[in-house]
């Protein structure tokens, strides 16, 4: 045990050094906060700065910890440091333990105050009314495609996309006892049920399937009814004290949902950014091609285009486009000015750091 004890003493010394450095970091952060207050700067949280730190740490990381582990550690350091200046409040689609809550916690860390909302529209409202600093909303699923309701709200809102985060959707079958043979009903949000349909048919062919308003709501029900298995995530198991009757049962592996953070403020340049916009065009031949040519002529990469019908105008559409770069970049700024002149409606939804 001699060598093990020596190693443990060495780790204790390192832990003391880490604590001392964290304390120094926190005090410097407080000084930065004081300087921001003196300068009357609008925000105490800078997502571009956080992304810069993550990228720098990834480049410097020589192991043995993988990059995601380093990012998770520093995410909590960022979160705790921000709470020294001011408690960060973030609105999400509730109740607790939804996948939106999971994404919010991964993005902002556990020292943040997360406020559940009943609808996506309520999230926008809370940010607009300055009751919270940010809101987080789902915008796209690799399995089910675009979230149209979120796009529609972005069009009419004065808010901006401030940052983004993607999480892998892993669905577990949860129950109060964890015994698959005792489950007679499967309950969850319709999307989660659809993503596990093949597994349910194969493994619980006689189970009654019922819908709930969210995966977290299903977990709440499973707390008090032993016959129910809830399709939900890891966080739901922890919060509602449930056990896994089956883990990772989604039919399509590696399904990912992309979330965006909405804010009253625009994000600054990070050096690796994305710009999202929406526009409408006159109904004439070649109109869309001519608009898209503006980007190709300037060597600007388009990563996504999606059309959505305009509800109050039959057979007319809005186009949602993602492109590489920040609106403050010279070439992209010129392209956006030229595009706006050709549009009947045009709005930049945000320029923000690409998720990592």
- CA dist 155 and 42 (Å) reads 24
Band (pLDDT 50/70/90 cuts) for residue 171 is very high
Band (pLDDT 50/70/90 cuts) for residue 44 is low
Q: Is the pLDDT at 309 greater than 70, yes or no?
A: yes
- CA dist 348 and 157 (Å) reads 11
Domain assignment present for residue 348? The answer is yes
Cβ neighbours of 145 (radius 10 Å): 9
- Model pLDDT for residues 122-140, shown as the tens digit of each residue: 999 999 999 999 999 999 8
Q: Cβ neighbours of residue 317 under 8 Å, at least 6 residues apart? A: 280, 307, 308, 309, 310
Domain assignment present for residue 245? The answer is yes
pLDDT > 90: percent of the chain: 65
Domain assignment present for residue 67? The answer is no
Domain assignment present for residue 56? The answer is no
User: Which of 254, 281, 299 marks a domain boundary?
Assistant: 254
Domain assignment present for residue 116? The answer is no
Exposed, middle or buried, 174 (CB in 10 Å: 0-12/13-18/19+)? buried
Contact 129, 91 (CB under 8 A): no
Domain assignment present for residue 309? The answer is yes
Domain assignment present for residue 97? The answer is no
Which is more confidently placed, 176 or 44? 176
Please give the C-alpha separations between residue 38 and each of 26, 33, 35, 42, 181, in angstroms, as whole numbers.
19, 9, 5, 11, 63
Average pLDDT over residues 275-288: 86
- Give the residues across from 348 on adjacent strands: 277
Q: Cβ neighbours of residue 94 under 8 Å, at least 6 residues apart? A: 100, 101, 116, 117, 118, 214, 216
- CA dist 229 and 243 (Å) reads 10
Q: Which residue has the tokens 């009943």?
A: 118
Q: What CATH number should be reported for the domain holding residue 305?
A: 3.30.70.260
- Model pLDDT for residues 317-349, shown as the tens digit of each residue: 889 999 999 999 999 999 999 999 989 999 999
Average pLDDT over residues 252-279: 91
- CA dist 233 and 171 (Å) reads 5
Band (pLDDT 50/70/90 cuts) for residue 148 is confident
- Say yes or no: 231 and 279 in one domain: no
Q: Please state, rounded to an integer, the average pLDDT across all residues of the chain.
A: 90
Map residue 282 onto helix, strand or coil.
coil
- Say yes or no: 228 and 285 in one domain: no
Query: CB-side exposure of 237: number of CA atoms within 13 Å?
Result: 19
- Say yes or no: 344 and 287 in one domain: yes
Closest to 268 measured CA to CA, from 32, 42, 48, 45: 48
Using omega within 30 degrees of 0 as the cis cutoff, is the peptide bond preceding 64 cis?
A: yes
List the domain range (segments joined by +) for residue 176: 172-254
Q: How many domains does the chain have?
A: 2
Band (pLDDT 50/70/90 cuts) for residue 237 is very high
- Say yes or no: 241 and 290 in one domain: no
- Say yes or no: 328 and 305 in one domain: yes
- Say yes or no: 250 and 182 in one domain: yes
Q: What is the pLDDT of residue 3?
A: 87
User: Which of 229, 254, 279 marks a domain boundary?
Assistant: 254
């Amino acid at each position: 045990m001699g060598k093990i004890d020596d190693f443990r003493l060495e780790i204790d010394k390192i832990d003391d050094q880490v604590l001392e450095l964290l304390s120094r970091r926190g005090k410097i952060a407080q000084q930065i906060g004081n300087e921001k207050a003196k300068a009357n700067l609008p925000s105490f949280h800078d997502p571009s700065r956080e992304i810069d730190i993550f990228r720098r740490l990834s480049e410097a990381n020589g192991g043995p910890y993988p990059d995601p582990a380093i990012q998770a550690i520093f995410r909590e350091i960022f979160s705790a440091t921000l709470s020294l200046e001011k408690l960060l409040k973030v609105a999400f689609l509730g109740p607790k333990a939804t996948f939106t809550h999971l994404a919010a916690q991964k993005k902002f860390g556990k020292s943040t105050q997360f406020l559940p909302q009943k609808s996506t529209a309520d999230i926008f409202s809370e940010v607009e009314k300055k009751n919270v600093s940010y809101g987080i909303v789902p915008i796209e699923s690799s399995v089910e495609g675009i979230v149209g309701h979120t796009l529609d709200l972005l069009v009419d809102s004065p808010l901006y996309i401030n940052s983004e985060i993607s999480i892998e959707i892993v669905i577990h079958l949860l129950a109060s006892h964890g015994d698959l043979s005792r489950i007679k009903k499967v309950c969850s949000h319709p999307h989660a049920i659809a993503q596990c349909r093949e597994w349910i048919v194969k493994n619980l062919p006689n189970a009654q399937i019922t819908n709930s308003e969210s995966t977290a709501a299903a977990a709440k029900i499973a707390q008090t009814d032993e016959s129910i298995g809830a399709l939900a995530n890891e966080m739901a198991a922890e919060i509602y004290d449930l056990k896994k009757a089956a883990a990772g049962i989604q039919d399509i592996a590696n399904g990912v949902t992309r979330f965006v953070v909405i804010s009253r403020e625009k994000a600054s340049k990070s050096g690796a950014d994305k710009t999202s916009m929406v526009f409408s065009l006159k109904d004439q031949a070649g109109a869309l091609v001519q608009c898209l040519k503006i980007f190709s002529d300037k060597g600007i990469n388009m990563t996504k285009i999606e059309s959505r019908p305009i509800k109050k105008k039959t057979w007319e559409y809005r186009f949602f486009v993602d492109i590489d770069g920040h609106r403050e970049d010279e070439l992209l700024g010129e392209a956006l000015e030229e595009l706006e002149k050709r549009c009947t409606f045009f709005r930049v939804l945000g320029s923000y750091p690409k998720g990592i």
